[in-house]
Amino acid sequence: MPTTISSRISNDPEARIRDAVTAIEPGLVAMRRDIHAHPELAFEEVRTAGIVAAELARLGIPHHTGIGRTGVVGIIEGGRPGLTLAIRADMDALPIHEETGQEFASTTPGKMHACGHDIHTSTLLGVAEVLRDLAPQLAGRVVLVFQPAEEALGGAAAMVADGVLDGVDMALGFHNQPDMPVGRFGYVRGSTLAAADRFDLMIRGKSGHAAHPELAVDPIVAAGAFIGSAQTVVSREIDPLLPAVVTIGMVHGGTAPNIIPETVELRGTVRTLHRESRDAAEAALKRLVAGLDAMHRTTSTLTYRRGVPPLINADSVLDPAIAAVARQLGDVIAAGKPSMGAEDFAEFAERVPAFQLRIGSGAPGRHDHLHNDRYQPDERCIGLGVQVLSRIALDMLA
């Protein structure tokens, strides 16, 4: 009979988990490097999902594939009845050409794990192995969610549509943070990441010769007016105590310096941390477009798409999670600031109480940031992440 983690280490939870992770950490790092070398974009994670499914099968953990197209879900049943905790990791890479020069760098030109989802996937697989051997002590069950397409902000919704949260009482997410040194952890109460909405604006005028503007309707002038007015949404229409961002990232119009074009196209994003500011920003932009046509004789079409909601951490999950991190590793966790970035774990948090933990991944002497072609996280964050996530699950399902 093979020796299990629980039979070869002490009964103390802290030591049991620490020693368990020490035993499996080299394999997790090797797995991370293999996934890193073979990045797959949103909803293309066939190879990665195959690795996950094979590892869950090796561990004897029941699992399902094809959830949310390319997602994988594993189930660990506890020894006693209780609540169900979902722990989620994302698997997809980014369309970035890697420039790290590492031996295990991406073998696919133009694709890279520049956000650390390879770290997340291997971390959750480590949690799966630790919790498998601690399962008799759990009251309830753990749902291991390996999610596709976080970068496209569609994978979580796809998994939810396929029933991944059916029967789930609470959810735990995590993300590596290169702006925090490895060994440190962070949290934010309440709204932690922003809703990500998008708008496309097509302004149609009447083309003509630049020397005779009176015979044309200039959409460029209208576009300029809209750009200026859009900046007043945050400064004059949103509560100053509720953070919001309106950014126009694309403007396209015209073909020559002496021609007034027929159309100008603009695209932008709206980021908000609170529902009331989200509603106010959308209403303001729609009103500005309506006024634009009256003022400039244009005909405008605004397409406004709501994306993921703000990620709001629930104290009912956050508080016991913080306490579990401290019990496992000591005084290593502290409050941080919200970010206007977006994360589709918010789709889970919209439906069940949830908390996303920040795991420091900054390597000594480096100043990396996410979505960068030279991003090199400190791999020690994998083992440390497995420790704290396993302890959170153990304590919350005690």
DSSP string, 295-319: HH--EEEEEEE--SPPEEE-HHHHH
For 17, the enclosing helix (H) or strand (E) is helix 13-37
d(CA 154, CA 157): 6
Give pTM, 2 decimals: 0.94
> Is residue 5's pLDDT more than 80?
no
| Residue that the structure tokens 């206007």 belong to | 340
Is residue 120's pLDDT more than 70?
yes
Exposed, middle or buried, 303 (CB in 10 Å: 0-12/13-18/19+)?
A: exposed
- pLDDT grade, residue 10 (50/70/90)? very low
Residue type at 354?
A: A
Alpha-carbon span 320 to 258, nearest angstrom: 65
What is the structure's pLDDT at 2? 45
Tokens matching residue 50: 């195959």
Assess whether pLDDT exceeds 80 at residue 6.
Answer: no
Q: In what order do the strands lie in the sheet with 185-187?
A: 63-67, 71-77, 139-147, 80-90, 170-181, 354-362, 185-187, 333-335
83 and 68 Cβ atoms separated by less than 8 Å: no
Place of tokens 């003022």: 295
In this predicted structure, what is the pLDDT of residue 7?
Answer: 44
Write the CB contacts of 382 (distance below 8 Å, at least 6 apart in sequence). 25, 28, 29, 32, 119, 122, 123, 126
> Collapsing DSSP states into helix, strand and coil, what is residue 112?
strand
For 277-323, the pLDDT digits (tens) are 999 999 999 999 999 999 999 999 999 999 999 999 999 999 999 99
Tokens of 170: 């609470």
Coil/strand/helix, residue 169: coil
Q: What are phi and psi of 350, to 5 degrees?
A: -70, -20
Q: Which residue has the tokens 């009251």?
A: 139
Q: How far is CA 321 from CA 147, 213, 391, 395, in A?
A: 21, 64, 8, 8
1 has a pLDDT exceeding 90: no
The helix or strand, by DSSP H or E, that contains position 289, with its residue range, turns out to be: helix 275-296
Q: What amino acid occupies position 181?
A: P
Q: How many Cα neighbours within 13 Å face the side chain of 383?
A: 18
Alpha-carbon distance of 345 to 355, in angstroms, equals 9
* pLDDT over 90 percentage in the chain: 97
Across the chain, mean pLDDT equals: 96
Tokens of 279: 């509603």
Phi-psi bin for 201: left (phi > 0), alpha (psi -120 to 50), beta? Answer: beta
pLDDT per position as a tens digit, 378-398: 999 999 999 999 999 999 999
The pLDDT score that the predictor gives to residue 96 is 98
Nearest Cα neighbor of 118 from 106, 110, 130, 108 is 106
In the prediction, which pLDDT does 16 show?
95
